[in-house]
Amino acid sequence: MVQIVRGLLILLALCLGAPAAAAPPALIPMPLAAVWHDGEVRIGADTVVEGRGEAASTADYLARELGLKSKRGGPSRIQLSLVPTSKIANPEGYYLRATGNEVLIEASDPRGLFYGAQTLRQLVTTKSASRTVPNVEINDSPRFRWRGLLIDLGRHFFGKQTLFKIIDEMAAYKLNVLKLHLTDYQGWRLEIPAYPKLTQVGSLVDGKPQYLTTADVREIVQYAAERHIMVVPEIEMPGHAGAAARSYPEFFNKTGDAFNPAYPKTYDFVRGVLAEVARLFPAPYVDFAGDEVGDAWEGMADVDRLKAEHGLKTSNDVQAYFGRRVVAIIEGLGKRPMAWDDQVDAHAPNSVVIQWWRRDKPEVLKTAAKEGHDLVISPADQLYFDYHQGPGEPGAPWEGNKGGPQSIGKMLAWEPIPGDFTPEESSRVLGIEACVWTEFIATERYLQFMTFPRLLALSEIAWRPKGQRDEAEFTKRLEPHIEALRARGINARRGEWDAYEFITN
């Protein structure tokens, strides 16, 4: 009798514990379309990963990530193959099917295969000792082709090991642009052999040089390229240039924070620096920033002469003049210039990609779109990861940062393309980019705390089609990812209680 009761109890426990059908894995970003079926593909040590020709590098990457070494056909296999664009039009799109003893990933370009492989990594679940992939059919492709993250190395320096970890996570979540903000008042972080003082003087922190060598850059660019991430350099000019001014004061204004636009040799210096930048970074874009100059040139006789000569009335006119010359230099180097939306006020030519950040100036974004600029959208309220994440949590204490915490909920509620954009204007939006400014971020642990998991919400917004997003549903989907990030050694924020570690006063 006791045995029967115990048996019934065990049966009852099993029924309650086992849901009718296992919930699908919590994918981020959520694919465009997924149809789940009963059953699963078993992944064992003998599962073989196959990919020929251009698919081989992704197959190797996937085998490495999943710890699969088998080369011979085992009982199950993962097959990666390239198909014509007539079958899958978007080079970043892919088709994934798991059924029987095979997982198939198809794409028309290695990028799409890579994103299919990232989805597969998230689909693999471990139950006791064995790993499985649920039977599924996925058709997927991204909304935006620019899915970016900016890391500010100028204010506080972070070296290549920190960047490699971030690149790994960007790849896992299908982001594809890493912008490096390499220079600012506090430091110049990029070796330029022709101008050694930039790093000998301009990179010093408490007397110690802190910068990326040209060899470091090559390594970072390569590491990112293997993960289909483009590294875009940002070299600040004419403002935010204190570190360069401390190194070569002859090319700068009196207060030592902005380039001198009236001194002819300034442009040789700019060309010399940007030529090295263009050589080091294969990306087609060079970002010259062009933001927040203010009245940098007041009381400079040579700038007054320049104004008289060229009919420039205001400081803004001077900035426009300088901007046009820098644009010509960058285009002469065979690259596309990129700058912040301040350059719209400075009438930058429409070949310049404009990055919109001043969320209180939607009219500037509209003007840029009307003028025919390509656009990257980075409003401070939603995409500045130096802002605090919850009430009372640490973050940059800026005046403009009073619109409440920059929570995941706030990010998800946001639609990147303004409602009044015409279809033509909308088509100029390349995508979105979040910014990790580091005035107040001095350690890798805090950098990661501010970046994760908001980076996953960035991925969701950049990848998924326009539409309502359910914060509760996303937050639930996020939970296992936060744990997985932490298991990989990333200090992802779980909740407000994690912030106490960083509250210093």
Q: Virtual CA dihedral for 166, 168, 170, 171, nearest 10 degrees?
A: 170
Six-digit token string for 293: 């100059």
Beta carbon of residue 358, minimum distance to ligand TNX (angstroms, whole number): 8
Q: How far is the CB of 69 from ligand TNX (least distance, A)?
A: 45
Q: What string marks each residue from 164 to 203 as x (binds ligand TNX by CB under 6 A) or -? A: ----------------------------------------
Q: Quick one: 115 or 157, whose CB is closer to ligand TNX?
A: 157
Give the residue with the Cβ less far from ligand TNX, 88 or 377.
Answer: 377
Write down the least CB distance from residue 355 to ligand TNX, Å: 8
Residue number, 150 or 461, with CB nearest to ligand TNX? 150
Q: Are 462 and 383 in contact (CB under 8 A)?
A: no
Helix axes 160-172, 110-123, angle to 10 degrees: 80
Nearest approach, Cβ of residue 429 and ligand TNX (Å)? 18
Ranges of H-type helices in 173-310: 197-200, 214-225, 242-247, 264-280, 301-310
CB of 61 to ligand TNX, least distance (A): 34
Residue 266 CB, nearest approach to ligand TNX (Å): 21
Nearest CA among 348, 359, 209, 231 for reference residue 285: 231
The only residue of 396, 447, 485, 492 in contact with ligand TNX, by rule CB under 6 A: 396
In angstroms, rounded to a whole number, what is the distance separating the alpha carbons of residues 22 and 445? Answer: 35
Helix axes 315-332, 264-280, angle to 10 degrees: 40
Asked if 340 is part of the footprint of ligand TNX (rule: CB under 6 A), the reply reads: yes
356 binds ligand TNX (CB under 6 A): no
Neighbours of 159 (CB within 10 A): 15
Q: Which residues touch 7 (CB under 8 Å, ≥6 apart)?
A: none
Residue 283 is classified by DSSP as S
CB of 398 to ligand TNX, least distance (A): 6
- Rounded to the nearest whole angstrom, what is the least distance from the CB of residue 343 to ligand TNX in the complex? 10
> Cβ of residue 269: shortest distance to ligand TNX, in angstroms?
22
Residue with Cβ nearer ligand TNX (257 or 291): 291
How far is the C-alpha of 486 from the C-alpha of 378, rounded, in Å?
27
119 or 407: CB nearest ligand TNX? 407
Q: Which of residues 124-153 bind ligand TNX (CB under 6 A)?
A: none
Binder of ligand TNX out of 109, 386, 393, 460 (CB under 6 A): 386
Q: Degrees (nearest 5) of the Cα angle 84, 89, 95?
A: 80
Q: Is 288 in the site for ligand TNX (CB under 6 A)?
A: no
Q: Which of 384, 449, 463, 474 binds ligand TNX (CB under 6 A)?
A: 384
- Beta carbon nearer to ligand TNX, 119 or 438: 438
Cβ at position 396, least distance to ligand TNX in Å: 5
Site for ligand TNX (CB under 6 A): how many residues? 10
CA dist 320 and 349 (Å) reads: 10
Q: Which of 36, 223, 398, 502 binds ligand TNX (CB under 6 A)?
A: 398
Taking CB under 6 A as the criterion, the residue among 292, 302, 415, 424 binding ligand TNX is 292
Identify the DSSP state of 398: -
Element (H, E) at 326: helix 315-332
Residue 158 binding ligand TNX, by CB under 6 A: no
Residue numbers 438-477 binding ligand TNX by CB under 6 A: 439
Backbone angles phi, psi at 405, to 5 degrees: -60, 150
* Out of 146, 157, 437, 449, the residue judged to bind ligand TNX by CB under 6 A: 437
DSSP secondary structure, 78-133, as one string: EEEEE--TTT--STT-EEEEEETTEEEEEESSHHHHHHHHHHHHHH-EEETTEEEE
* Beta-ladder partners of 137: 35, 97
Query: Which residue number, 40 or 291, has a Cβ lying nearer to ligand TNX?
Result: 291
Q: In the complex, which residues of this chain contact ligand TNX (CB under 6 A)?
A: 291-292, 340, 357, 384, 386, 396, 398, 437, 439
